[in-house]
Structure 1
């Protein structure tokens, strides 16, 4: 069966058409999107991580499709999450930094799925309603089509957590925040097992503070952890401590993921549920002597992306193509039998899940620190990577095949002029096509 026929069967007419057709009609898939804040793409055994213990993620990889070259469109929470929901880059959806609200006229994948009859729910950290912390988001348009709501706007409070339902009266969870959120998610899945649902579970960890629950606090011995080769010697001791807490949080989340997968099996919805595991951005954790996210290095911009859809039949595969978080919204809409929304800039990846023969992107594009003096843009093509500053001057140039840890900056080496100019031209063309600070003529748009 080809991809078009398959997608037509699983959901071409949406849930309303399925209901009208009766019990024998096609049912669109449910969608469970799990977002782990600051989980970097290198922190997977399948990506070569020698430290992490995450058996449920390993199982998800064995039964789904791994996208090993997935990138965030921007290594900051709000811009990345806005891009994920809208399928548009941060400059296009106008969320340039944390603390900025998603404009009311931006359309989201959640709104489109709600209109198609999906039961929708959001649990966890939202980050798209401005600077309020923790922040009550009232029912209505600011929730972007999510009907069930157990969330807060901003903050990282992993014990004695606070969240809101439909009133500004704060609710208090119990114990470790992701465990409580996962219980709410399991309840949502049980309640909506008989109809297609779209549930986003947005965990706060492994973003700092790096304090795992007691059962995982001593799981990793800092002295035995293997550091990435680009962690300077002077930063090694601090990096080991940070990694021990980081991996402890990751393993705690993996246990929560296992509970979600178990509930899908118990409710009989596993075969017809698209499970997505990803992050908004990565984390440096001592690489290049840094401990932050908004840097144009691979540790900050690479993210995990695992998608499992048992009904599609593609299991245990690696899709060797560049992917950005902006690709998720159009992909999920197509899997639900809907058209991508007008203005979406991401690619439809559904062929990689259904036929395994999806097209391969030649490059991936990332923005950072927009509208600040430290603004940068980045493009990776093949194994070559270029970074430019606010004035589009090249600051960094790497070959990730020869230098995967980005320890040799080729930007100013005389023998690299041709490669530097070629990569810069490709980046400028991508900016032009995306409408990012560049007019169709190629002239830069002046910023205040």
Structure 2
């Protein structure tokens, strides 16, 4: 039996006009790309003309959030449309359970030609890691590995454990493979998932893109003075990798244009999480700050979506799978926890998700949960005690923590109630058990 959301989704899907041919889907993930590092977000440093073009041609979300700012949990959420704790990947270096339904398996069953290129990171600790066919979740074409953060001298696997070397910059070679996939003639629509490691550390861009001068970079206002030198050097390498990725994005967009596939191909560009790069004096990922949880999200589908900038719409990466399945005219599985935004994207009617949630450091004493509703943001610790409260409209750099102010009590309590409701509805629970104090 369908629940209310499943019923409404099925009705909306049935009422949508069925195209003569389902759209292609090119799903691009750039590892550790934070949402602030985009031309369309007003980044003063980044040179990325192809991302600027894609943003201008897309629905460009400025307030997209990862459900967990770490690689493995975020990737599991994007594939399954479920929050990491519900998808069985509540931490890094975990294997996505075979019982979980994925967008790739659903599209394959619906007749799509499926392919995966790049970093997988859903098959445990193995590095680089050959992933056997039975654990590839419906992807037929495979040029990937489990885990390897190495921009040069990288390898990938096909259908045997024999590694295949990529000469030069890894993203260049992976984009070559993606273009070969796009050129394969087939009557089937395709779903290609391209997973670049860049701009993930190490921050060693190709020589032609190592052009950013650390002394000239404008750092975010929340980078402390004593962290600025180190942050500037890291940011120079980071931006160089971003520009190198942008060049490869341009190659992909040009190939779609060349083959006349632009109108009927959904292109989604996103990341699994961001990185602090010195903000708040940190060089980390698994933190509930905007530099790590806010991620890029651009969705281009010229045939059906009107390009626009979405400055206020809140979107979670758990929403990707049900939304894309519906755009591809495939019924999303009822157990997906994400919101199907396809009707809102195509018609503009209704409202997108609100609020959004994230979790992190699950199973440790630093475990946290986060909720963002409107411009308000609350973070709680492993005991569900509020630790941070910000108004992102007035304080986008999160410099003024309002959590202890008496005037914020009602807002804090309302946000905490929202968080508790979400935890109940998704069967989320804090996994860390504090050690008991000795009697005495």
| Matched residue SS, 2:144 | strand
Q: Given the alignment, which residue of 134, 139, 146 partners 1:153?
A: 146
1:193·1:267 contact (CA, 8 Å) conserved in 2? no
Q: Take 2:421 and 2:323, find their aligned partners in 1: how far apart are those partners?
A: 24
Residues 421-436 of structure 1 aligned to structure 2 (within 5 Å): 421-436=413-428
| Matched residue, 2:17 | 8
Determine whether 1:66 maps to 2:60. yes
Q: Take 1:101 and 1:145, find their aligned partners in 2: how far apart are those partners?
A: 15
Gaps of 5+ in 1: 11-25, 439-443
Q: Given the alignment, which residue of 41, 49, 71 partners 2:35?
A: 41
| Matched residue, 1:14 | none
| Matched residue SS, 1:183 | helix
| Matched residue, 1:244 | 236
1:194 Cα deviation from its structure 2 partner: 4.1
Residues 259-408 of structure 1 aligned to structure 2 (within 5 Å): 259-318=251-310, 320-408=312-400
1:314·1:356 contact (CA, 8 Å) conserved in 2? no
Structure 1 residue runs of 4 or more that deviate by more than 3 Å after TM superposition = 3-7, 444-448
Q: Which moved more, 1:395-404 or 1:413-422?
A: 413-422
1:220·1:244 contact (CA, 8 Å) conserved in 2? yes
Determine whether 1:183 maps to 2:192. no
Residues 79-158 of structure 1 aligned to structure 2 (within 5 Å): 79-140=73-134, 142-158=135-151
| Matched residue, 2:3 | none
1:389·1:395 contact (CA, 8 Å) conserved in 2? yes
Q: Take 1:168 and 1:327, find their aligned partners in 2: how far apart are those partners?
A: 34
CA-to-aligned-CA distance 1:326-360 (integer Å, 9 cap, x gap): 00000111011111112100011213431233413
Q: CA RMSD in A?
A: 1.8
Q: Take 2:374 and 2:153, find their aligned partners in 1: how far apart are those partners?
A: 46
Q: Take 1:284 and 1:296, find their aligned partners in 2: how far apart are those partners?
A: 10
Q: Take 2:160 and 2:353, find their aligned partners in 1: how far apart are those partners?
A: 44
1:302 Cα deviation from its structure 2 partner: 0.3
| Matched residue SS, 1:33 | strand
2:105·2:137 contact (CA, 8 Å) conserved in 1? yes
What is the TM-score when the length of structure 2 is the normalising length? Answer: 0.93
Determine whether 1:232 maps to 2:224. yes
1:206·1:249 contact (CA, 8 Å) conserved in 2? yes
Q: Take 2:316 and 2:110, find their aligned partners in 1: how far apart are those partners?
A: 25
Q: Take 2:238 and 2:271, find their aligned partners in 1: how far apart are those partners?
A: 14
Gaps of 5+ in 2: 1-11, 436-440
Q: Take 1:263 and 1:6, find their aligned partners in 2: how far apart are those partners?
A: 33
Q: Take 1:182 and 1:290, find their aligned partners in 2: how far apart are those partners?
A: 32
| Matched residue, 1:77 | 71
Determine whether 1:162 maps to 2:162. no
1:193 Cα deviation from its structure 2 partner: 5.6
CA gap 1:195/1:372 in 2 versus in 1, 3 angstroms: same
Q: Given the alignment, which residue of 188, 200, 206 partners 1:213?
A: 206
Q: Take 1:230 and 1:76, find their aligned partners in 2: how far apart are those partners?
A: 22
| Matched residue SS, 1:38 | coil
| Matched residue SS, 2:295 | coil
1:6 Cα deviation from its structure 2 partner: 8.1
| Matched residue SS, 2:357 | strand
CA gap 1:310/1:148 in 2 versus in 1, 3 angstroms: same
Q: Which moved more, 1:308-317 or 1:93-102?
A: 308-317
1:204 Cα deviation from its structure 2 partner: 0.2
Aligned length: 425
| Matched residue SS, 2:133 | coil
| Matched residue SS, 2:174 | helix
CA gap 1:33/1:287 in 2 versus in 1, 3 angstroms: same
1:4 Cα deviation from its structure 2 partner: 5.7
CA gap 1:38/1:192 in 2 versus in 1, 3 angstroms: farther
Q: Take 1:424 and 1:323, find their aligned partners in 2: how far apart are those partners?
A: 20
Q: Take 1:212 and 1:192, find their aligned partners in 2: how far apart are those partners?
A: 34
What is the TM-score when the length of structure 1 is the normalising length? Answer: 0.92
2:326·2:332 contact (CA, 8 Å) conserved in 1? yes
CA gap 1:194/1:447 in 2 versus in 1, 3 angstroms: farther
